[in-house]
Chain A
Amino acid sequence: MPKTEKFAFGKSFDRLTEIVESLEGGEVDLDKALEQYEEGLKLVQACNKKLKEVGNKIEVIKDKYE
């Protein structure tokens, strides 16, 4: 798995949480709020897409124990 994708979900999710909290705070002016909303929607979409991936990878490390 490429390194760039590694934390994509967590990062996107955190950013989304941040945006929702910021919007909830109500201290953002309308223009900025619209911008954040747009970004939030994109993040939701990206996260949803990521969640549609199926399956987990499993690898067993067979190491020699003395």
Chain B
Amino acid sequence: MEEQILTVTQCNSLVKDVLSELRIWVQGEISGYKISQNKWVTFDLKDEGSKINCFMTIYQLDQVLEDGMEIKMYGTPSVYVPYGKYSFTVQKVEPVGEGALRKAFELTKRKLQEEGIFSPEQKKAIPRFPQKVGIITSEEAAAYTDFQRIVNNRWSGVEMTLRPSLVQGVNAPGQLVQAIEWFNKHYPVDVIVMTRGGGSLEDLQAFNSEQVCRAIYASNIPIVCGVGHERDTTLAELSADKRASTPSNAAEIVVPDKQDILAHLERSKQQMQDILLSEVERYQWKVNEYGTRMGILMQAKTAKFTEMEHALERAFQSYRSQLAVYTSRLTQIKKSLRESMKSKQQTLKQDIAQMNKLLASYNPQNVLKRGYAIPRNAQGALITSAKKLKKGDYLQTEFADGVVASTVESKSKTIRKTDTLL
């Protein structure tokens, strides 16, 4: 049998094929870490005695790495046939040891922070009354039982869908991402709860993985993330729309408390009643007030009228009293006029009587009656003096009851007795 002779290319290809069967974990320290064209990641993994040239795509890299970091990597050794150069194709990287893990955590955190993955403005609101809740966690985990128990205690009528996923270990990030994507693509729930119990930094690795954070950030469904009591907040929690302190707290965030809502409903009812009542009272008060105001207005108007009436009355009274004064004065005047007329009349009457009397007394007839006589001459002319007569003159003497004709016999100054005369 002839010995088979390979060409160099065949040799390298053969070695490559043999090596490509290997799937191994290798642990060491990173040096010469480099990302080129934002696509290819290269570094050397070394220990005290040796080093391996490592290569991976940036899409496979779930950690921010740095020189000096202790990691374990999973992958396949390979040969680049044209150069016959051996390298290691990395599929997964995990920091090793508290120091490296912390370092990786800080680096990833800073990176995501700079990209705005944690920014509060990006957070979606958690619906207050979700009907469908998606749960991503390990089915066996206490976190899941806790979550369910609290939801059942608080609320009812929720449809919960559990998409089981590993929550730690090297396959956990991939499953978590898949579960998030599955809900988004195939089962649109109102909210997703991603949860697990607490653990060491290493246990929580998946919740600090960059790809999980990105999947959370990319989810159209709001995500509540709750990890058991730990001092560090995981990056998944920072990326989530709402961070729960524990799985139970996640339940409290996702569903309201029935008692609270019942109380709220009762309060709302009471509030509506109170408001309505006070509104009715307000209207009542208003109506009353208007009534009172109208009353006052009417009163004022009435008062005005009354006042006017009084004024009129007063004016009328004053006119009346004035009229009375005038009337009485007139009456007085009339009376006094009458009286004065009467007395005047009396006086006149008396005067007239007096004058009549006097007149009567002046009537010669009356004088004649008293014994006087009127001497006249023959012509009837009045003889007023004895001197105008002489003896033998004709003398007619008029008496009251007739005339006596005589002749003058003698004259003297005094009356003489007849016998003497004779």
Contact = CB atoms under 8 A, between A and B. Distances in A.
Given A23-B275, A51-B262, A56 B155 contact: yes
B279 interface: yes
Chain A binding site: helix, strand, loop or mixed by DSSP? Answer: helix
Please classify how large the interface on chain A is, using the bins under 10, 10 to 19, 20 to 34, 35 or more. 35 or more
Given A1-B131, A56-B152, A59-B161, A16 B268 contact: yes
Interface size class of B (residues with CB under 8 A): 35 or more
Contact of B158 (A19, A37, A44, A56): A56
Given A6-B131, A9-B129, A56-B151, A1 B159 contact: yes
A55 B149 CA distance: 11
Contact of B262 (A48, A58, A62): A48
Contacts of A9: 129, 131, 157
A40 to B, nearest CB: 5
A57 B164 contact: no
B142 interface: no
20 contacts: A6-B131, A10-B128, A13-B129, A19-B272, A20-B272, A20-B275, A23-B279, A30-B280, A33-B275, A37-B272, A44-B268, A51-B156, A56-B152, A56-B160, A58-B160, A58-B162, A61-B164, A61-B187, A62-B164, A63-B182
Q: Which 9 A-B pairs have the closest CB atoms?
A: A10-B129, A23-B275, A56-B158, A60-B162, A58-B160, A53-B157, A57-B159, A40-B272, A44-B269
Given A16-B265, A56-B151, A65-B171, 9 more contacts: A20-B268, A47-B261, A48-B265, A57-B158, A57-B160, A58-B162, A60-B164, A61-B182, A63-B163
